[in-house]
Amino acid sequence: MDLKTFDRATAERVIEQLRFGVPPPEYVRTFTVGRASQLRALEKSLGNPSCDKGAALLVKANYGFGKSHLLRVVREMAIEAGYAASLVVVDAHGGVRFNQMDLIFGAICRELEVPGQRAKGVGAILNAFADAVPASVSPGLGSVRDRISSRGKWDLSDYLKSPALYVALRAWVHAGTQSVRELICDWFANPRNYRSQRKHLWSELVNNMRSAFSDPRREWQFYAEDVFSFHATGHRQAWDALADIQVLARVSGLRGVVLLFDEFEDVIQNLNRRDLQEQAFLNLFRFFDGDRFPGMSYFAVTPDFVQKCKTELLNRAIYDFDYGRFDRLPFFELDTIGRADFGELAARIREIYGVAYGLNEAGLMAEVAISEVANELWSVRSPDRVRRAIQGVVRILDDYWDGHE
């Protein structure tokens, strides 16, 4: 993207974000330097999954050298390419535990983004389905829409794997009030909060809307079949609902759903019981096997992640685990950013700084000077050297401008 095309307000917002050492999420690629061939390979990987089987990739990079940054790049690539995307930070202390798929499902629903929609959340994908023009969807996928809705009757359809998602989608399409849609979004984003609210969900999403459709099931059947539960039967419905969100994305005219998981090493650091770690690793393998989620998933990890996983399990005396599965996980390893790359990044920051504050070439720090600054900042070794160096460039540009006003 040509930085000179930025308007001043946008450029100033970018600079304010760069003061924290990272660019705004929507401009991550603009401030990604070097690694051009690697980025093209990553972009190509978005199209790996088939329609009925998913795929996953470990994205390896050291702390402070672009691991989280790269995930944001992939997220931006995915949205630009017409995918829905959700970037989740794994955090056992924050209730995003990878051994509990209902919690992971909730986090995915909270962070889901759809091209062309400003609001995040599962409502964005439900809106995409409701708003899609049938003529714009390919004939094959158009027939899928008919099967999902039982040709517009919405009485009962078994096409979707998750009965909860079917109930939510049907209520969303027929919702007469905003409160119904807010209930659906909150239920999917925080499924554990609704374990004791089955009757409330049935009343609001089924019984109160029976004038719009004729569901043949009685109230007790919804409870007996765990329609409103994402944790029962080994969290099976959480997996099924993820697969169905991929289906909804495709029949809404999107290319699919891309999932991105940051800080996956949390599984090693913060899950203190061996059974919890084993379950988290099994869930990881399920994404890579591609049978439960038919989309593309990315996991940001450090280069020694596989060895750390095996060491952790061995330290816990878990000897009957299939350790070879770790070695078979496909990965993409990011080249470390170099001094020349950071010099290019510093030059871009200088350019956008000039746009933000209306400075011409004469009013900006000279290119030679900014290159010297980049050299000096880069010489300071730190685990988060890139972030600190970016902050340093902005700070020095501020000081230069203050001294020449």
Six-digit token string for 167:
């109930």
User: What's the CA gap between 66 and 355, in Å, rounded?
Assistant: 26
User: What's the CA gap between 70 and 17, in Å, rounded?
Assistant: 17
Helices (H), 119-265: 122-131, 139-148, 163-174, 178-189, 198-205, 219-224, 232-251
Does the pLDDT value for residue 344 go beyond 90? no
Does the pLDDT value for residue 190 go beyond 50? yes
pLDDT tens by residue, 287-321: 999 989 999 999 988 888 889 888 888 888 887 88
pLDDT of amino acid 135: 53
Contact 228, 222 (CB under 8 A): yes
User: What's the CA gap between 144 and 83, in Å, rounded?
Assistant: 19
Residue bearing tokens 């989608």: 169
pLDDT tens by residue, 66-85: 677 778 888 988 999 999 99
User: What's the CA gap between 318 and 320, in Å, rounded?
Assistant: 6
User: What's the CA gap between 216 and 101, in Å, rounded?
Assistant: 30
Residue bearing tokens 């809705």: 149
**DSSP letter (8 states) at residue 321:** S
Q: Which residues fall within 8 angstroms of residue 404, CB to CB, at 6 or more apart? A: 363
Q: What are phi and psi for residue 289, nearest 5 degrees?
A: -70, -30
Secondary-structure percent of the chain, ordered helix, strand, coil, rounded to 5: 55, 10, 35
Contact 231, 238 (CB under 8 A): yes
pLDDT tens by residue, 244-283: 999 999 999 999 999 999 999 888 888 888 889 889 999 9
Q: What are phi and psi for residue 56, nearest 5 degrees?
A: -150, 165
* Helices 163-174/232-251 angle, 10° precision: 50
Q: Minimal CA–CA distance to 382: which of 390, 394, 373?
A: 390
Does the pLDDT value for residue 382 go beyond 50? yes
Dihedral sign, Cα of residue 356, residue 359, residue 363, residue 368? positive
Distances (CA, A) of 101 to 230, 238, 240: 8, 6, 11
Six-digit token string for 389:
């160096």
Give the DSSP letter string of 95-106: TB-TT-HHHHHH
Does the pLDDT value for residue 64 go beyond 50? no
Does the pLDDT value for residue 405 go beyond 70? no
